[in-house]
Chain A
């Protein structure tokens, strides 16, 4: 398996909902990333996990809560989001920090 997969592809949620985004890779990569991407803008780094431990949190609001249950899985728990949080959420993984491979993303809409 040479891909990063993400579910769901699309998600619509209200501001009081709790939902989770999931990311999976079976390439043996030990670094996994969450990015947020707005239309026509580059991806913005949110979190980095290295060997299943949180290594970077780019001052992301606490309504976004990452979790790395094992070396293949990465979750992003969402709670009390705002409409401005609507974006494409991308997961990525890398072996030694260089080549980062992106998943297809989850298109999130917050109503």
Chain B
């Protein structure tokens, strides 16, 4: 089965700095890689995702890069703000391959990001 490793487990930055979280996956069949942000006591919220036919995707201050050959993908947050403080989870799945309507997400262990004002 798929195995996803996420680093670092904790990340502390000053407001305005950039933050980078990295994940590696094991199953070369995985083709969909979402990132979730979970604030304390709240639901995991999908913030950005990338598919295996794309190398990079950007949404305002957030970007994700994917290296299929090396089997790793990264989340980049620029100009961090205190409200970016949360736990971030990466995940991987082969999605709806084979005509199924569901995807079995394998999550990384999470990164606790703290942005200091």
Contacts and interface: CB of A to CB of B under 8 A. Distances in A.
Contact of B102 (A50, A104, A105): A50
A33 B87 contact: no
A96 interface: yes
Report which residue of B43, B46, B87 has the largest number of chain A beta carbons within 10 angstroms of its beta carbon. Answer: B43
B93 interface: yes
A30 B100 CA distance: 10
A94 B109 contact: no
A97 B30 CA distance: 12
Q: Which among B89, B93, B100, B109 has the highest number of chain A CB atoms within 10 Å?
A: B100
A21 to B, nearest CB: 14
17 contacts: A41-B110, A42-B107, A43-B89, A48-B102, A48-B104, A50-B100, A50-B101, A50-B102, A56-B102, A94-B101, A97-B100, A97-B102, A98-B96, A100-B103, A103-B43, A104-B42, A104-B43
